[in-house]
Chain A
Amino acid sequence: MLKKSLLTALFLLVGYEILMRSVDAWWSTGQNAPQSSVVRAHDFIYATKTYDNIMVGSSIGNRITSKVPADSLPRSFYNLSFGGQSIFDGLQILKKMDYKPQRIFIEMNVLMRNEDPDLQASLFSPVMYPVKKVMHSWRERNQPLGVLARLPLVLDGNPDLQPATPPTGLERSEDSYKAMLAVQLEAQKNAYPENYVADQINKLKTLVEYFQKQGVQIIFFEVPVDPKLCGMGAPVQLRTMIKAAFEPMGCKFVDMPDCEGYFTTDGTHLEKISVYKYLRYFRNELKRQGIMP
């Protein structure tokens, strides 16, 4: 029984590794938000290609590519924004990899969340990091049940290989949207204690200084949210304090556009239709400020 069982496992492991090396399972992604973060990080960590522009952020910045085809940003961009995580996660990954892009774009919306030590530990585990580098079948993206669950998507073809179709209409459920917006309004109406924000800014300053010394240009950007939230206590406070701290350090800013006319799924995350709108604004701003041609 033992021998048969172990041989079965070995056979499946070898067979699946061969399969994953011969098939690009583009349709498979993370099966949940934390796993999607790991997949996005792995795609970056194990990539053979290098990127000049890196975005770091939370689920708010994550939408900028995850909900639209890859051609929404220039190919030189990689978005290291993670759902449920913070800007510090992306920055720590870059630091651990000793990665020196030309520019780092830092999302301003969610400053108060800290990096996730478990995510960092799992990405750079002394055992699993080298193993996953070699074994494609061991990476989260290629989990057999995940590949199986999303197999029907193969019928639609890889969206990254097709021209992007401009979205029309809203995806959101109005009831869900209203319920979550009410929660967000309550959560963001008051400013944070000043010293909490100061501590986060100091932590971020250390990282910004580190990257600036490596010759990396730092650009802050703020993604528009629901018009009702834009002027709330918490976002106004963060906006003001971040600008006051980092403008003197030579950092550039892509200010948040007027929130009117932007739609969100739940108050803070942009609808696909608004992601496109924001991207047009974002790219125009980069040109206008001479940050990118």
Chain B
Amino acid sequence: MTPEELQEQAEKRRAEQKDTPHQIRVCVAAGCISTQSDQVKEALVKGLSPELQKTCQVNGVGCMGLCKEGPLVSVDDTLYKAVSAADAPELINSLSQTPVQRLLCDSKAPFFSRQKKIVLENSGKINPEVIEDYIAADGYVALHKALAEMTPLQVNEQVTISGLRGRGGAGFPTGLKWSTVAKGAAGQKYVICNADEGDPGAFMDRSVLESDPHRVLEGMAIAGYAVGANQGYIYIRAEYPLAIQRLKLAIRQAERLELLGKNIFGTTFSFHVELRIGAGAFVCGEETALIASIEGKRGTPRPRPPFPAESGLWGRPTLINNVETFANIAPILRNGGSWFAGIGTEKSKGTKVFALAGKITNTGLIEIPMGITLREIIFDIGGGIPDGRKFKAVQTGGPSGGCIPEQYLDMPIDYESLAKAGSIMGSGGMIVMDDTSCMVDVAKFFMEFCMTESCGKCVPCRVGTVQLHGLLCRITDGTATMDDLSQLEELCDMVRSTSLCGLGQTAPNPVVSTLRYFKEEYLAHIQEKRCLAGVCKITVPHAAGVSR
């Protein structure tokens, strides 16, 4: 495709959209589909009279964010919630009449108005299965700009200026990673998109891939140009069939329009993308384990250095970024690195997508500028805690993160603040807990997760997580002693300091953070044989104080 053709495509699509005065958009991301939004869409399509078909289009679009109220449907600028197929005729009638009051969803509510969308700017607006929709929304313009107007060095410069940091969790500066791979040994290089979203309680990447797959492909191609790679892989979880299907379709469409493949935009730059499907191993989110898995091996990590940027897939320099990181690239190149750097805080630039879940009124997907407070997220955007219960903690960063208590609610969200509070940014899962959650039980939940997900290669993680889990079990069933508590603390320190990879090194984090803020709950289990939240079934009578 030539740039002129791209321009033409975009204008043609925009004109088409203009010619149809009415747009009905139905969310067809996994959340709404599971509440039968596909049937709603079908009913709407069928319900349009031949007359209306000329003036109204029904489109399946990506995630609109408020998953709890799904299926979500927007009729022109009016948003409706909890729509069923039976509501279709009424919604169609509303095109010429007044809105359907009983289904209205207030799109001016803080949940929507307090967000800032960069990564999700197309989500819920464009049809993820139609590449022309993406092109009409300035898709692939950034790729063209990079190839036609910039050197790879200049692309790296813009990414560095933007201050973007890895959205997979650790927050490594993206620009630095790119320049390292760019400077790596000449010859074959690879770009890998880590879509093995493994943190339980996180669904940002799934949603981005289901709602706007081309955005990720474009980011990867730009990365390929910047670092000198002609081959990309997307490593995606098998648990995300819809995302896989949409990615496959998107790759085919982009290849057909020659936006991926050989000699993109008639330049010498070629870039191919292939999918690799994960097979259920959390540890494969770790870079070196992910590489082993793409090579068809057991997903066990290896010591770093050498880092993948130097020696990665098949020993070649390899760039690995996660889905959200790649999704930020096109807007950065379109608007310039300094535009992006103007959003967020001093050290954490841009926006971050979070998945709000647990005991919170508005469960769903949000994107906020870095630096707003947890309180704003949970109480303004999230609508607070349901059933009049009391906020207790918010868990961020999944099994590698920690639980943040009430006293940190006014802390701004950025990489450093979260680390200071004993958690991590992580990939963006935010699980809110109220007073019905026992923090020792939560710590045990995560330890069980790490224990079953440990690859078994290094001793501290393989055996240490089993022993830590055993200690937590004894605490929650009331048989632990104070000695067990000190052993728990000692073992946490040891597993953290000596494990081979990030999984083991961070596995104790949920325990350490709950010990830091909720020690009284541990003590109540051990000394009073009592679970303050009433979750744990303590069978040992108080006096027993069983020793091992």
A and B co-occur in one complex: no
- A interface with B by C-beta (< 8 Å): none
